[in-house]
Amino acid sequence: MEIQTPDWVKHAVFYQIFPDRFAKSKQERKRLHVNAPWEDWEAMPTLQGYKGGDLWGILEQLDYIQSLGINAIYFTPIFQSASNHRYHTHDYYQVDPMLGGNQAFRDLLDGAHERNIKVVLDGVFNHSSRGFFFFHDVLENGSYSPWLNWFKIEGWPLSAYNGDFPANYEGWGGNRALPVFNHDNPEVREYIMEIAEYWIKFGVDGWRLDVPFEIRTPGFWQEFRTRVKAVNPEAYIVGEVWGDSREWLDGTQFDGVMNYLFAGPTIAFAAGDRVVLEQVQSRDYKPYPPLFAAEYGQKIQELLQLYPWEIQLTQLNLLASHDTARLMTIAGEDIPSIELSTLLLLTFPGAPSIYYGDEVGLPGAIDPDSRRGFPLEANWDTEILNTHRQLITLRHTYPCLRTGDYQVLYAQGEIYIFARTLGSEELIIAVNAGTAEAKASLNAGKLQTQPSKILYGTASVEWNGDGESKQLTLNLPPRTGCILGVG
């Protein structure tokens, strides 16, 4: 079977936005709340408080997003919910009124599309919430409710709020706030398929699927793909699966997953023993223990061999998300760790995803702290911002960084060097993760050209010989990386 994935994703640089925390509209709008008790924007976030970010605020910041070189946005959930993260869905057809409602989303989607920025929504289809109309009916009417078979009821009475009694229904992760759907019920299945179709018809460019591995109903994700792609063949379907995802990446279900298998080794190599363990030990992606270049290269090669190439090119690669601590905090605020990780991210096959604020050095421990308000410009780290701008520009400039082959040339000690090649276009990317200046000599006979122009970073470059015996010698300053191209 020939695997087909959306072509635009191969050329996308994503920006992940948590809508309550990115921007508040500065313009006069008809609001649900005029004087709402929002948390202070700059204060540490809490589990349940709102900061009042809205979709109009994001619309007003599209010029900034575009100026970064971003051409795709992934939003964490935007539908009506009684939680700041909105994974507790009340109504899948209504954008949360606190975010501006459906009209604000219409305006934002149109504004993004005018700038050729794609928009992907978060689909929370494994579970709903206690406030979801159908479940609320069960709470009100008990065994008389017509929606009983939509959920996994285990006994009576239900206890949705009092933890002193058994819930008597299945909640995701044992959380009674999140009643799990009964996906074996054809009505539930059809309901979810119609939601997916509705928003694709509305104009969104894809779905990021929350905990899709929890849905085990045979054929569910295959039908989801068929129904979504029938509306828009170029719609992107990306699953939140943290580990080996071959089960879902066979070409009949998802186009990619959130590539935590890239994030873990990359941070472990670039940040090494600077990684603050208490910020990562409760998560599955394991950016520890520190890796040397050879170990990193081996993990990357294994990852690149795990899935078909067509799928590799539409993976959603990331270094941080709303479910992890931010890289700034994980790396103990070590700027070179961030810059080296970002270099490896933006030169890797697949679509890079930047978590809002990471591009300006926003810190944050594991959630809720990783969901801070986007910082005031006075608090931006301009060095990190310039690194992102440079690398995103280079990714857009050179097709080989998007769809070219990935070939490891050298991986010894703390020096890692690889080439991205597409036809006659060749770039060499080199990283010295060590704390001392380092020299590497390698055979580059498989390359057609001799990339020696420094497009990013600093290094001294020397070529000797020709043909299959040509040698490249690189001197790299400590804790730096570079990109070499043909002059």
Check whether 244 has a pLDDT greater than 90.
Answer: yes
Of the residues 210, 339, 414, 426, only one is catalytic, namely 210
pLDDT (average), residues 77-87: 96
* Identity of the amino acid at 58: I
Can you give the pLDDT at residue 487? 72
CA-nearest of 273, 225, 213, 297 to 434 is: 273
Can you give the pLDDT at residue 467? 83
* Topology alike, domains 7-126+181-397 and 404-485: no
Check whether 40 has a pLDDT greater than 80.
Answer: yes
- The domain defined by 7-126+181-397 carries CATH number 3.20.20.80: yes
Check whether 47 has a pLDDT greater than 90.
Answer: yes
In which band, very low, low, confident or very high, does the pLDDT at 32 lie, cut at 50, 70 and 90? low
Residue 377 annotated to the active site: no
Can you give the pLDDT at residue 483? 98
**Contact by Cβ (8 Å): 72, 120:** yes
In which band, very low, low, confident or very high, does the pLDDT at 355 lie, cut at 50, 70 and 90? very high
Can you give the pLDDT at residue 443? 93
**Contact by Cβ (8 Å): 272, 256:** no
State pLDDT tens for residues 364-381: 999 999 999 999 999 999
pLDDT (average), residues 348-352: 98
Exposed / middle / buried, residue 461 (Cβ in 10 Å: 0-12, 13-18, 19+): middle
Name the residue ranges covered by the structural domains of the chain.
7-126+181-397, 404-485
State pLDDT tens for residues 158-207: 999 999 999 999 999 999 999 999 999 999 999 999 999 999 999 999 99
Residue 405 annotated to the active site: no
Of the residues 54, 96, 240, 359, only one is catalytic, namely 240
Report residue 456 as tokens: 């990013």
Check whether 21 has a pLDDT greater than 90.
Answer: yes
pLDDT (average), residues 350-357: 98
Task: Return d(Cα 106, Cα 124) in angstroms, integer.
Answer: 20
pLDDT (average), residues 327-355: 98
Check whether 34 has a pLDDT greater than 80.
Answer: no
The structural architecture, per CATH, of the domain 404-485 is Sandwich (2.60)
pLDDT (average), residues 379-399: 98
The model's pTM is 0.97
